[in-house]
Structure 1
Amino acid sequence: MILSTRKTFLLMALYTITMMATALLYFQNHLGYEPCVLCVAQRIATISIGVIALIAFVHGGATKVYAGLLVLASGAGAAIAGRHVWIQSLPEDEVPLCGPSFDYIVDAFPLRDALEMILLGDGSCADVHWSLLGLSIPAWTLIAFLGLLGLAIFQLIRRSK
């Protein structure tokens, strides 16, 4: 059974809501983990995917446009999560130095410099606080983004139903 185009967009929106609820309610509020700059960037990508998918579901038209936007947002999220996993895999002596918080970066630096600092990550991004089956939170997030990317590509190439 293949879901309709609109139901697939709804599934993507609900999945991102689940991702954000897990991040905020479990990891941040229950376990007390503060997100690093790359975690915040991944959350922004997740929210972007959810908003685009929800608008696509409600609108019901322009499927290819929404699917293209979802490919871009999911690809960006996967790239950010991939960089995060890479930073976590670095030997301790190659981990970048810790930097300022996300809020400070956004407030104190021009947009271009802020984006560069955020996407490069810092030493706090190398900390692995939690893992399941040997995979850290960013690794699981990478898997989620790749799944969303696959769905977005499927939406892009399929015939509308």
Structure 2
Amino acid sequence: MSQIKYIFLALFSLGLVIIAVILQQVGYQGISFLPCPLCILQRIGYLGIAIFCFLAASFNPLRKLFHAMAALSAAYGLSVAGRQVWLLSHPETSCGIDPLEIWINQFQLVQGLPWLFKADGICSAKLPAILGLQLPEWSLLWFTFFLLVLAVTFFKKLPK
């Protein structure tokens, strides 16, 4: 995959995190989208994709390694988003405050960047749909996109 494609994937992934932060801070249809623990873990997946794609674009000798790490970040995010979509369709399995929230909110990174990493929401909360899909469903869709692109392009010959 070319350097410009890695940069595009990285910027697109960062753009999705920015959209999530905007929905958290500004809201949609008058409702603030407070991130739950699974939302925060998905943000980490998107940031992983972005970081590893930027590294793949920057360091040609280690491009395959960073490409694989970006694909693993996408697979990780896909599994977390899949779990949250499952929780949305089975709200009775949620007990309200997730113990994962307490664990996530104790990290130093959360203390330094609470607007990005602090978990305040409930994972099974039904929020307004955006273009017909809940936010975790959109996330599942985008992680699938990233994983497919990264998996298909992994075995292609590197450009010189």
Q: TM-score, normalised by structure 1?
A: 0.79
Q: Which residue of 2 aligns with 1:63?
A: 63
Q: 1:30 aligns with which of 22, 26, 36?
A: 26
Count of residue pairs brought into register by the alignment: 142
Q: Provide the residue aligned with 2:49 in structure 1.
A: 49
Q: How does 1:1-161 map to 2 (within 5 A)?
A: 4-25=1-22, 27-31=23-27, 32-90=32-90, 92=91, 94-100=92-98, 104-106=102-104, 124-161=122-159
Q: Secondary structure at the match of 1:61?
A: helix
1:113 — aligned with what? none
Please, what is the CA RMSD of the aligned residues? 2.1
Listed one character per residue, the Cα deviations across residues 57-88 of structure 1 (whole Å, up to 9, x for unaligned) are 12233222112111111001001001100000
SS of the equivalent of 2:61 reads coil
Question: Structure 1 residue 103: deviation in Å?
Answer: 5.8
Runs of 4+ in 1 over 4 A off after TM superposition: 100-103
Shift of 1:11: 1.1
Unmatched 5+ stretches in structure 2: 108-120
Residue identity matched to 1:28: Q
Cα contact 1:5–1:155 (8 A) shared by 2: no
Partner of 1:117: none
Give the conservation status (yes or no) of the 8 Å contact 1:36–1:101: no
Preserved CA contact (<8 Å) 2:128 2:134: yes
- Offset of 1:106 from its aligned partner? 3.5
Aligned 8 A contact 2:10 2:50 in 1: yes
Structure 1 pair 78–12 and aligned structure 2 pair: CA distance change class (3 A): same
Distance 1:38 1:160 in 2: 35
Whether contact under 8 Å (1:63, 1:155) holds in the other structure is no
Identity of aligned residues (%): 24
Relative to 1, partners in 2 of residues 1:13 and 1:131: Cα closer, same or farther, differing over 3 Å? same
Deviation at 1:41, TM superposition (A): 0.5
Gaps of 5+ in 1: 110-122
Shift of 1:157: 1.3
Greater shift, 130-139 or 47-56, is seen at: 130-139
Question: For 1:7-64, what per-residue CA distance to the aligned partner results, in whole angstroms no more than 9, with x for missing partners?
Answer: 2211110111110110112x11111221001001001111111111111112233222
